[in-house]
Amino acid sequence: MDVVRWRRRGVARRADAGGTGVHLEFGADPATSMVVSWLTDGPVRRAAVRFAPLEAGEGRKGRAHAQTRAYRDDRRQRVHVQHATLRGLRPDTRYRYEIEGGLAGPEPFTGEFRTAPAPGAEAAFTFTCFGDHGTDQPDDPFGTPASGEVVAAVEARAPLFNLVLGDLSYASLRHDSARVWADWFRMISPSARRRPWLPVAGNHESEHGVGRFGLDAYQAYFQTPDNGCGEAFRGLWYAFTVGRARFVVLFGEDVCYQDHGEVYLRGFSHGRQTAWLDRTLRSARADPAVDWIVVAVHQVAMSTANYHNGGDLGLREEWLPLFDRHEVDLVLCGHEHHYERTHPVRGVVPGSPALTPRPGAVPAVVAAGPSPTAPTAAARSAVAEPEQVDTTAGAVHVIVGTGGSSSPSAQVLLEPPAGRVVVGVDAQSGRRRARYALEEAPWLAMRSPDHPYAFAELSVDPGTPGGLTTIRLTARDSLAPDAPPFDEVVLTRPRGSTAQTAAQSAN
């Protein structure tokens, strides 16, 4: 049990006392700011968060006033969320905090967190991710007990932060959406109150009748770094830097053809998001203090699942060329409810009508082998080190839509492996029906039919100047004791240089 002490109180308070859906998000600079958010039954006057470093002498104490965001849910009831931004923090430092106002119980809620390493810092860190979550409530038809198990499994790994890759609570599919959101926040709070759980908006974040685009609830519950694109698009896409890695979070509904939400949003930003993405990626790749560019988006460009969502041509048309141009290293996705990983991809297979991504580098042993699936425990133990993948050859795409959804796609994978792609929709009244195409899948590196519930753990090692920097990606089964790994790969790229610079130096 964590215990923190406040000098003015003179007593110890348990870190899990009280609280309603307390969750953290990074501020504009994850090294110096943190957002503490929580749900309240109504508007709260003078709500605030006090904070101080855990170790004396490591930084100043402070108090941040909370701001209330509110929206009307599907029953036209007002829902209130408090957000307090803690500023002036020290990088890579542990803090304790205390919430004042709006929480149940006589005692203030207290917790702890760690700030991120400063941008450009030569610091190692670990983060986790998964998507398609749901709740573990018995009456939730869209979640499962696995939805709760993955929270505990992630917390046991103690990452710096966790990315939730879209379709968070599935509140859009229920007629009591505010209660579903409250259930979800209560479920994740044992971890999300200690480390940021950063959201990616998926198709099921859009709720019928909840704002113009159905996104008012999502935008009220989270306060993420500003994208500068205006209030209508607040929080739907954003970017942040941790150490030598730049993270770019996108809202795929804007470019995808598939109509699988409560509101059809293809093109709703009128190109603003894509222009922002181009600027953000260009700036990141030109920054000598950035090595890794990691993109998080709910929908997928490639998938071998049958009778599920499939890859989307819209992503291939709009964003994959930008990923190629600016040398994105890693793309993390949900949407498909299984685990799947690609080879590095760059460009398209010549003559492919659906713009099939072209693998940039395929290990010979993989290229000649059978359908790539998760290795057995015996096979894992026989390999001393995981495969190394050079991301200067292209971006590796990883599907981790394995958070707890009641409709896993791990058992409906096409065999032999093939890609299934949404290539358009038929315009009609009501929901637009998707048109699909099948393609060969030369991009497929690995998929797992035997681990329907899982998360990915990613450990970033900055390396040394002139050498290689790495990300060790480990997929872990969230239902098995101690979350054993079933896939592991080490991504590499030259430290402190772009692929072009590295190539020029070699010539």
Phi–psi pair at 495, nearest 5 degrees = -75, 130
* Helix or strand run (H / E) with residue 500: helix 499-506
How far, in Å, CA of 77 to CA of 453, rounded?
A: 34
**pLDDT(376) > 90:** no
Supply the pLDDT for residue 29.
98
Q: Among 309-313, 425-429, 480-484, whose mean pLDDT is lowest? A: 425-429
Q: Is the fold of 1-115 the same as that of 118-506? A: no
Supply the pLDDT for residue 107.
72
pLDDT digits (tens, 9 = 90+) for 184-240: 999 999 999 999 999 999 999 999 999 999 999 999 999 999 999 999 999 999 999
Phi–psi pair at 194, nearest 5 degrees = -110, -20
Supply the pLDDT for residue 433.
87
**pLDDT(10) > 80:** no
pLDDT digits (tens, 9 = 90+) for 169-188: 999 999 899 999 999 999 99
Q: How many CA atoms lie within 13 A of 263 on its CB side?
A: 17
Domain 1-115's class? mainly beta
Torsional sign, CA 405, 260, 279, 87: negative
> DSSP string spanning 22-65?
-EEEE-SSTTT-EEEEEEESS--TT-EEEEEESSTTSS--EEEE
Yes or no: say if 274 and 320 are a contact pair by the CB < 8 Å rule: no
| Helical spans, DSSP H, in 158-308 | 177-192, 216-221, 272-286
Supply the pLDDT for residue 2.
34
Supply the pLDDT for residue 348.
98
**pLDDT(17) > 60:** no
How far, in Å, CA of 243 to CA of 198, rounded?
A: 17
Mean pLDDT for all residues in the chain: 90
Look up tokens 């590295």; give the residue.
502
pLDDT digits (tens, 9 = 90+) for 463-481: 999 999 999 999 999 999 9
How far, in Å, CA of 329 to CA of 251, rounded?
A: 19
Supply the pLDDT for residue 274.
99
> DSSP string spanning 97-162?
EEEESS-SSSSPEEEEEEPPPPTT----EEEEEE-------TT-SS--HHHHHHHHHHHHH--SEE
Phi–psi pair at 196, nearest 5 degrees = -60, 135
Instruction: Kindly indicate the confidence band of residue 393, based on its pLDDT and cuts at 50, 70 and 90.
Output: very high
Supply the pLDDT for residue 12.
28
Phi–psi pair at 34, nearest 5 degrees = -145, 140
Neighbours of 504 (CB within 10 A): 10
Instruction: Kindly indicate the confidence band of residue 501, based on its pLDDT and cuts at 50, 70 and 90.
Output: very low
CATH 3.40.50.140 fits 118-506, yes or no: no
Q: pTM, whole model, 2 decimals?
A: 0.92
**pLDDT(34) > 90:** yes
DSSP letter (8 states) at residue 338: S
Spans of all domains in the chain: 1-115, 118-506
Look up tokens 């497929």; give the residue.
444
Supply the pLDDT for residue 59.
65
pLDDT digits (tens, 9 = 90+) for 421-436: 999 999 776 678 899 9
> DSSP string spanning 356-400?
PEEES---HHHHTSSS-BPPPHHHHHH-SSPEEEEGGG-BEEEEE
Q: Which of 462, 136, 174 is nearest to 291 (CA)?
A: 462
Phi–psi pair at 354, nearest 5 degrees = -100, 20
